[in-house]
């Protein structure tokens, strides 16, 4: 699976074509489904007013951003952080549209930048589109997915780019295999744990081969994982 970056933005409004700007970027790095501890988080001065409806969503006001850098000032370091990764974004066209508008403004402004759009340094996976393919006809907002996958988002009283990116990490891992905490170091027990329901004889675990129905159900589940991950289901890739 390699390196993936879960990313979210907050903005002054809904349309970059209307001159709206990014005011917060949050990104979390995962490698092979494990958090690396590397993040990118930056508030930005949009040099314009923020729509009242947007402030209600994220709680960020123009006064809070007066001393923050402009996008052009952090563009190069952001590109360096994203370079070569697969971006995981919920409703990716929205965030990518804003990122590309900001990048174009930097280039048009005469500043050197080695890309003309974010897709020049990354691939992009829209987790909203993935969720809709897995749960057609259902609500697939981040809040709805948290509820569906029993992910605690009670601390999310307002939108925030880094907070939403951190929540989306859990949602994405749950959607693509249901294994979230398993890949964190804290999930590794200090001592072996014996689980209820296993039969032991002479200190050895009894292995019960699956029957044909169980094998078929397992294969169907792997097919679902493979479709959801774009052909990157590890179990299928390693199957003889």
Report, as residue numbers or ranges, the catalytic residues: 159
How many angstroms from the chain centroid is the CA of residue 201?
Answer: 45
| DSSP per-residue letters across 1-52 | --EEEEEEEEESSS-GGGT--EEEEEEEEEETTEEEEEEEEEE---SS---H
Backbone angles phi, psi at 237, to 5 degrees: -65, -35
Residue with tokens 């990104």: 27
Say if strands 200-201 and 34-43 run parallel, antiparallel, or are unpaired: unpaired
Do residues 225 and 235 make contact, with C-beta atoms less than 8 angstroms apart?
Answer: yes
């Amino acid at each position: 699976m390699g390196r993936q970056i879960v990313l979210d933005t907050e903005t002054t409004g809904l349309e970059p074509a209307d001159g709206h700007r990014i005011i917060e970027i949050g990104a979390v790095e995962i490698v092979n489904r494990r958090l690396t501890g590397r993040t990118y988080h930056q508030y930005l001065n949009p040099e314009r007013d923020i729509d009242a409806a947007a402030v209600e969503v994220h709680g960020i006001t123009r006064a809070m951003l007066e001393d923050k850098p402009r996008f052009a000032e952090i563009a190069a370091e952001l590109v360096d952080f994203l370079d070569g990764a697969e971006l995981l974004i919920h409703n990716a066209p929205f965030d990518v549209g804003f990122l590309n508008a900001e990048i174009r403004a930097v280039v048009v402004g005469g500043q050197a930048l080695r890309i003309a759009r974010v897709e020049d340094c990354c691939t992009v996976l829209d987790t909203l589109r993935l969720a809709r393919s897995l749960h057609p006809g259902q609500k697939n907002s981040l809040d709805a997915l948290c509820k569906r996958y029993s992910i605690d988002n009670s601390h999310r009283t307002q939108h925030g780019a880094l907070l939403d990116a951190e929540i989306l990490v859990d949602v994405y891992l749950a959607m693509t295999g249901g294994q979230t905490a398993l890949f964190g170091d804290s999930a590794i027990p200090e001592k072996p744990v014996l689980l209820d329901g296993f039969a032991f004889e002479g200190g050895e675990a009894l292995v019960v081969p699956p029957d044909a129905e169980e094998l078929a159900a397992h294969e169907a589940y792997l097919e679902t994982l493979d479709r959801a991950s774009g052909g990157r289901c590890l179990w299928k890739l390693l199957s003889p």
